[in-house]
Amino acid sequence: VQLVESGGGLVQPGRSLRLSCTTSGFTFADYPMSWVRQAPGKGLEWVAFITSKPYGGTTEYAASVRGRFTISRDDSKSIAYLQMSSLKADDTAVYYCVRDHGSTLPTWFDPWGQGTLVTVSS
Amino acid sequence: SYVVTQPPSVSVAPGETAKITCGGNNIGSKSVHWYQQKPGQAPVVVIYYDTDRPAGIPERFSGSNSGNTATLTVSRVEAGDEADYYCRVWERSVDDMVFGGGTKLTVL
């Protein structure tokens, strides 16, 4: 099982960025997926969740990103995405893609990708 | 939202037992998952649903959850167990599903 994030980098406040999570080694369509972030030197924060298609592909978001971030998935490519808009300095973090073991709500995460760093700064 | 509290640090000698706590109001009625993060690495789940251990995690790692405290116990601590440990509480509302602030386990 492998998860590889990409798309991170330096972005100005107020701009947008899309992260991708390319997966392999498991049946992607069968699993919900989440994104978790970690600000430099800080703890973990769950960000977004998407169910598998049998559960409607519904989404959940942390209050801190609700209305600004959008999680999506392409089961044909085994890729999960995180579209981030109206970025703020507080969004600066390493963003991890994780395979979720929930169904309609996020539960526990295994495995984790290696992470991609997003830096929001002018 | 729900609040959980972890001690910032725990120190033990090699071969001893480390207990890392995760405190919260009636946390025993909720499910708790534990993650280990070594420096420069992504986190790894070591305990899920209070007591379950994923394949590949040593039996030295165990979990319990009762009352207002969930506990991750690491028996016969080794130098390689030195890491940050995070608890995460499962609730029926995502706004109450929180990570603890993390506990740094130091092996003396």
DSSP A14-81: T--EEEEEEEESS-GGGS-EEEEEE-TTS-EEEEEEE--GGGTT-EEE-TTTTTTEEEEEETTTTEEE
Query: Which residues share a beta bridge with B18?
Result: B74
CA nearest to B39 within chain A: A41
Q: Tens place of pLDDT for every residue, chain B, 108 residues? A: 899 999 999 999 999 999 999 999 999 999 999 999 999 999 999 999 999 999 999 999 999 999 999 999 999 999 999 999 999 998 888 888 899 999 999 999
Chain B residues with CB under 8 Å of A109 CB are: 33, 35, 43, 45
Tokens encoding B12 = 């033990």
Q: What is the mean pLDDT of chain A?
A: 97
At residue A64, the pLDDT reads 95
CA nearest to B35 within chain A: A109
What Cα–Cα distance (Å) separates residue B52 from each residue in A87, A94, B36, B94? Answer: 38, 28, 15, 22
